[in-house]
Amino acid sequence: MSFKRGFVASLLLVAMSLGSAGVSSAASDAVKPEVALRAAFPQVPFDTITPSEIPGLYEVVSGQNIFYYYPEKELILTGELIGKDLKSRTAEHRGALAAKVVKSLPLDKAVKVGDGKKIVIEFTDPDCPYCRKAFEYFSKRSDVTQYVYFAALAHPAAITKIQYILGADNKAQAFDAMMLGQEIPASAKPVTDAIKALAQEHLALAKKVGIQGTPTFFINGEQVVGADVKKMDELLKDPQPKP
């Protein structure tokens, strides 16, 4: 695993700030962290603020974003908190937030693929090679029902394929064809304004959930980023409740 220099710098800033300040002073303890944050940064909206694993440092949730606040020095810190297992605590918490939002997604707006008992919510992109790898994995399973939303974050030209899928009479079949790299057939129906709006709604839902890349899956209340076949195998071993 590799991290950007700015990412590492954020972690160093946390360590230096906490090391120099020590435990929060009595004066800071007298003011609730949410009150202190609003007073120091009135322009910064947030939903919740809770203690982090580091004494004196608070995790702040703003929509689907997470940052950190250190009231002792009135600092806002961005970046990831990494455990000794090299896993991002921040990413895990973001995934949990996203999983809560996923429960309210309108499944009737998604493309339904399969009819298995195990439920998978997917955000994908027909032009994404990792999405196609995941497609290959799920095409070999008969125990899964996928609810697929499209978010062409890195491949904006894929919007034509997305619109074709959403406008097709047999959406699951059209999805298979596009994920296999086939061309849009000449006989495809013209794209209507309603289909264009639905494609944009898919993208808006992805942003609402906080999707930052494709493919992203939600299985049994857990987020899986990327075509992580091993993790998906583990999550799909247990009975899957419908969201």
Residue in the structure block whose two tokens are 């494709």: 214
Residue 18 has pLDDT above 50, yes or no: no
Residue 111 has a pLDDT of 98
Give alpha helix (H) positions in the chain: 5-21, 26-29, 33-40, 89-102, 129-139, 159-167, 171-179, 193-209, 229-235
User: pLDDT per residue over 131-148, tens digit each?
Assistant: 999 999 999 999 999 999
Measured at the CA of 12, the angle between CA 9 and CA 14, to 5 degrees, comes to 115
Residue with the two structure tokens 């300040």:
21
Least confident span in 29-33, 75-79, 158-162: 29-33
CATH of 5-87, one of 3.30.2390, 1.20.140, 3.10.450, 1.10.10: 3.10.450
pLDDT band at 33 (very low <50, low <70, confident <90, very high): very high
Architecture of domain 101-235: 3-Layer(aba) Sandwich (3.40)
Domain ranges of the chain: 5-87, 101-235
Distances (CA, A) of 134 to 1, 80, 137: 21, 27, 5
| Predicted confidence band of residue 20 (pLDDT cuts 50, 70, 90) | very low
CB 146 within 8 A of CB 172: no
- pLDDT at position 31 is 86
Is 75 a residue whose pLDDT tops 50? yes
- pLDDT tens digits, residue range 191-221? 999 999 999 999 999 999 999 999 999 999 9
